[in-house]
A and B are shown apart, each in its own frame.
Chain A
Amino acid sequence: MSEPFIKIENLSYLYEDDSVDNSPALEGLSLEITKGEFVAVLGHNGSGKSTLAKLLNMILTPTKGKIIIDGKDITSEALSDDDVLSLRRTVGMVFQNPDNQLVATIVEDDVAFGLENLGIPSDEIRRRVDEALSDFGMLEYAKHEPHRLSGGQKQRVAIAGVMAMRPECVIFDESTAMLDPLGRKEVLDSILKLNREKQVTVIMITHYMDEAALADRIVVLNDGKMLIDGTPSEVFEKERMLLDAGLAIPQCTELVHRLRDSGIVLDGDCVDLDDCVELIANSIKII
């Protein structure tokens, strides 16, 4: 097996705070993520999800432990400023609130912002901005004012801005939490696209179980520690554990579990609606 793209070893983080009951936001977390993987991170409020994201992007420095990205130890003190910049470019981030991450007054300027900071030649900027906008269906809005766009459109501009910097990994920190159903779908489609077509590694933090079901793998955090790590169907099988950790399972999975509890035989995994319809339809045919 090849070296993992991201290797997290025994990672801990303690926020500086005077209170007595201050416990670490992350404690002894170890995790390996391969290149091109799509990993969803679940966990209750305060479980350490966002802290993990900030550590990966070097917004925070760990109290203990190591993070190695693409062979480089990003927690090493010997890191030069150039290394830091290049690593930040490697790992992009899209946040929750669409209104807090757009800085320019015109959409295309916003997408160009990161590139300008990197000192990229202007004709290259032009090319990358157009490409990123077109990839995420926002080219026709290039000259629009960001504040007049819908939430889903704003998030797609944010995604285009991150993607224009050609990151190898993008972290989404509850990027759909403030969107309506259509906006959520737009953003999720974009995430799947950059993962499947551009082979970008995706780490998606979410509270929505049906979004997590789209990932290759789900990591569940509880009180700063790893609780479960597995494929969506493996994770959703552990219903009791998830409920105890303040989480839930998708409604369709819950329904299949309850049908099974009542003695109906349903063979196979169920993480989404299509699985559920298929399982039920097949089992009735057999009867």
Chain B
Amino acid sequence: MSDVRIEDLSYFHAKGTPYEIKALDEIALHIREGKITGIIGHTGSGKSTLVQMFNGILKPHSGRVLLAGEDIWKKPKDIRKVRFKVGLVMQYPEYQLFEETVYKDIAFGPKNMGLKDDEIDACVKEAAEFSDLSEELFDKSPFDLSGGQKRRVAIAGIIAMRPDILVLDEPAAGLDPRGRTAIFQNIVDYQKKSGRTVVIVSHSMEDMAKYCDDLVVMSEGKILLCGECREVFSHAEILESVGLDVPQATKLLLALKSRGFDVDCGALTVDEALEQIKKLYHN
């Protein structure tokens, strides 16, 4: 179980060349333990660079990354251990499937951690259950599965390492509405059952509003807003100023309010908006 604390962190792409760009600019951030935190921001705002700091794929040029209070770069030789503690699911992770069978693919991470066969087996089964994959699929080739199933296998491969923190970059990109809901519901169930910390990067404000506890908004390498989801989405103007948005339900209430109706614009989901609008009819 652990939280992530980022202190005063800066990072430059192509440092020391004429193309040097400041990707992260003195960032301070706390990712709460046992919560689902969303990260939003337009392309190039530094989201992906930030999440690559969490497990030491990138090393900060200044500042610190604290995992459960420990500086992950204190002993640079031990950085590999950090990578097992922070599981990173990249965009379109199904392109990284490579093994002959689903079982072997999910087992790849735990195997690399040097676990014994029976421990590996337990990890694989647990991860498959979390990802809603039946054991009947274990002997199949991952390449014979549907798009949604492939993605689930790839996510299970990371969950199998039992990371303290699970980071997912656009986990639902390219999936149809049913597939989207299923993946997010899996993630929420995983968080509830395991109690572990989850970080999700996404462009969908509706999904963020529905599934996240906390929200971090990035713009030009800085943290623009951060806090509980509801609080962050109450700043519609700031979000729009950086090319982001509020969920459709919130947008609808804001539009009604600007037409003179007395509604509370704090609603984030269809259910909440419905309640607000029904009140208008009862008054």
Contact = CB atoms under 8 A, between A and B. Distances in A.
A181 B274 contact: no
Contact of A181 (B148, B175, B205, B270): B205
A284 B255 contact: no
Interface stretch (B50-58, B70-78, B100-108, B242-250): B242-250
A207 B42 contact: no
A176 to B, nearest CB: 10
Interface stretch (A74-82, A84-92, A116-124, A248-256): A248-256
A179 B203 CA distance: 8
A60 to B, nearest CB: 18
Interface string B58-97: 0000000000000000000000000000000001000000
A180 interface: yes
Name, among B91, B179, B247, the residue most crowded by chain A CB atoms within 10 Å (CB to CB): B179
B43 A180 contact: yes
A181 B147 contact: no
A151 interface: yes
Contact of B252 (A45, A247, A258, A277): A277
Given A259-B274, A281-B261, A284-B280, A180 B248 contact: no
B96 to A, nearest CB: 16
Contacts of B146: 45-46
Contacts of B180: 207
A106 B148 CA distance: 36
A62 interface: no
A223 B215 CA distance: 37
Contacts of B193: none
A280 B252 CA distance: 10
A177 B175 CA distance: 9
B42 A181 contact: yes
B248 A250 contact: yes
Nearest to A276: B252
Contacts of B256: 277, 280-281
B116 interface: no
B18 interface: no
Contacts of B144: 19
B176 A262 contact: no
B176 to A, nearest CB: 4
Contacts of B195: none
Nearest to B202: A180
B118 to A, nearest CB: 33
B251 A181 contact: no
Nearest to B251: A273
A23 interface: no
Interface residues of B, number: 40
Nearest to B248: A251
Interface centre among B173, B205, B206, B244 (most CB of A within 10 A): B173
B114 interface: no
Given A180-B42, A258-B270, A246 B176 contact: yes
A183 interface: yes
Interface in A30-59: 43-47
Interface string B222-251: 000000000000000000000111011101
Interface in B154-182: 170, 173-180
A190 to B, nearest CB: 16
Contact of B177 (A46, A182, A183, A246): A246
A210 interface: yes
B43 to A, nearest CB: 5
Interface of A: 19, 43-47, 96, 150-152, 174, 177-184, 207, 209-210, 246-248, 250-252, 254-255, 258-259, 262, 264, 273, 276-277, 280-281, 284, 287
The 8 closest A-B pairs by CB, nearest first: A182-B243, A246-B178, A248-B177, A251-B248, A44-B176, A180-B42, A277-B255, A150-B43
Given A179-B43, A277-B255, A277-B256, 10 more contacts: A152-B43, A179-B203, A182-B42, A182-B243, A183-B42, A247-B178, A255-B277, A258-B270, A273-B248, A287-B281
13 contacts: A44-B178, A45-B146, A45-B179, A180-B243, A180-B244, A181-B243, A182-B42, A251-B248, A252-B248, A264-B278, A284-B261, A284-B280, A287-B281
